[in-house]
Amino acid sequence: MALPKRIIKETERLMADPAPGISATPHDDNLRYFDVIIAGPNQSPFEGGVFKLELFLPEDYPMAPPKVRFMTKIYHPNIDKLGRICLDILKDKWSPALQIRTVLLSVQALLSSPNPDDPLANDVAQHWKENENAAIQTAQEWTRKYATA
Partner 1 sequence: MGNTATKDKAEHVDGGALLPNGIYTGPQDYDFRIVQRLILQRKLAPFYKGLEECADSEDAQEELKEKLLRAAATSPSLLSSASAPGKRPLSASAVPSSSSSQPHSTHNYSESERERELRRLYHGAIECPICFLYYPRNINRTRCCDKPMCTECFVQLKRLESAPTESPACPYCVEPHFGVIYSCTPHPTDLHPLTGQTQHAGGTSMSVSSSSNSMERAPDQSPSSPSSRRRSTSHKSPDVVAADDLRPDWNRRILAAAQRQPGSRRASTSSSVSGATFALGRRLAAGRSSGSNSRRSNSSAAAADYNGYLAAVRNMGTDLEELMMMEAMRQSLQDEQDRINRESAAATAAAAAASSAQQVANTTASPSTSSAGAASSSTTVSSDRQLSSSASTANSSTAQGVAVMLGDDEYDQDSLISDDEDSDEDTPAQLQNRAIRYRNIAGSRSGQMPVDLSPKHRVEETANPTEAL
10: contact with partner 1 by CB under 8 A: yes
The DSSP code for 89 is G
102: contact with partner 1 by CB under 8 A: no
Residue 83 Rama label (left phi>0; alpha psi -120 to 50; beta): left
Among 29, 60, 82, 133, binds partner 1 (CB under 8 A): 60
5: contact with partner 1 by CB under 8 A: yes
* CA–CA dist 141, 126 (Å, integer): 18
91: contact with partner 1 by CB under 8 A: yes
* CA–CA dist 53, 37 (Å, integer): 6
- Residue in 14, 53, 86, 100 annotated catalytic: 86
Which of 5-13, 39-47, 109-117, 135-143 is the region at the interface with partner 1 (rule: CB under 8 A)?
Answer: 5-13
* CA–CA dist 110, 74 (Å, integer): 12
Q: Looking at beta carbons only, is 30 or 148 nearer to partner 1?
A: 30
- Residue 86 appears among annotated catalytic residues: yes
Among 16, 82, 97, 149, binds partner 1 (CB under 8 A): 97
129: contact with partner 1 by CB under 8 A: no
Residues sharing a CB contact under 8 Å with residue 2, sequence separation 6 or more, in sequence order: none
The SS3 of residue 50 is strand
Q: Which residues are catalytic?
A: 86
